[in-house]
Amino acid sequence: MPTLCRPAVSVPEFVITMEQTLEFAERMHAGKPQLGLALRLIRNTGVRKRHLVQPIEKALHHPGFEERNRIYEAEAKKRCPEVIDRALANAGVTATDIDLIIYVSCTGFMMPSLTAWLINEMGFRSDTRQLPIAQLGCAAGGAAINRAHDFCTAYPGSNVLIVSCELCSLCYQPSDDNIGALLSDGLFGDAVAAAVVRGEGGTGIALERNASYLIPHTEDWISYAVRSSGFHFQLDRRVPGTMEPMAPVLRELATRHGWDAANLDFYVIHAGGPRILDDLAKFLAVDRTMFRHSWATLTEHGNIASAVVLDAVRRLFEEGSMTPGATGVIAGFGPGITAEMVVGTWTVDPLLPVGRIPISASVPGPAELAPVAGAVAV
190 confidence band (pLDDT: 50, 70, 90): very high
Q: How far apart are CA 295 and CA 48, in angstroms?
A: 11
Domain carrying residue 210: 204-347
Q: Answer whether residue 355 shows pLDDT above 70.
A: no
Q: pLDDT tens for residues 146-171?
A: 999 999 999 999 999 999 999 999 99
Note the pLDDT tens digit of each residue in 257-291.
999 999 999 999 999 899 999 999 999 999 999 99
Higher per-residue pLDDT: 23 or 127: 127
Give the domain CATH number at 229.
Answer: 3.40.47.10
Domains of the chain: total: 2
314 lies in the same domain as 184: no
Same domain, 234 and 145: no
Task: Specify if 353 maps to a domain.
Answer: no
81-90 pLDDT, tens digit each: 999 999 999 9
How many other CB atoms are found less than 10 A from the CB of residue 365?
Answer: 12
- pLDDT digits 0-9 by tens, 336-353: 999 999 999 999 997 764
- Is a pLDDT exceeding 70 seen at residue 144? yes
Residue at a domain's end among 158, 173, 198: 198
Question: In terms of domains, do 183 and 211 share one?
Answer: no
**What's residue 371's pLDDT?**
46
pLDDT at 296 over 50: yes
What is residue 153's predicted lDDT score, i.e. its pLDDT? 97
Candidates 225, 249, 248; CA nearest to 236 is 225
Question: 132 forms bridges with which residues in the sheet?
Answer: 103
In this structure, the dihedral spanned by the alpha carbons of residues 76, 78, 83 and 88, taken in order and rounded to 10 degrees, is 100
- Rounded Cα distance, 303 and 296, in Å: 11
Residue 357 lies in a domain: no
Nearest to 136 by CA among 292, 265, 366, 306: 306
Q: Are residues 51 and 71 in the same domain?
A: yes
Task: Say whether both 340 and 298 belong to one domain.
Answer: yes
The answer to whether 211 touches 254, Cβ cutoff 8 Å, is no
Supply the pLDDT for residue 375: 67
What is the rounded end-to-end Cα distance, in angstroms, of the chain? 27
Predicted local distance difference test score (pLDDT) of residue 251 = 97
- Rounded percentage of the chain residues whose pLDDT exceeds 90: 73
Please give the average per-residue pLDDT across 293-301, as a whole number. Answer: 96
Cα 339–315–373 angle (5° rounding)? 105
Active site residues: 138
**Residue 111 placed within a domain:** yes
Shared-domain flag, residues 221 and 183: no
Residue 368: pLDDT above 60?
Answer: no
pLDDT band at residue 356 under the 50/70/90 scheme = very low
Mean pLDDT over each residue of the chain, to the nearest integer: 90
Q: Is 4 in contact with 142 (CB distance < 8 Å)?
A: no
Model confidence at 119, pLDDT cuts 50, 70, 90, reads very high
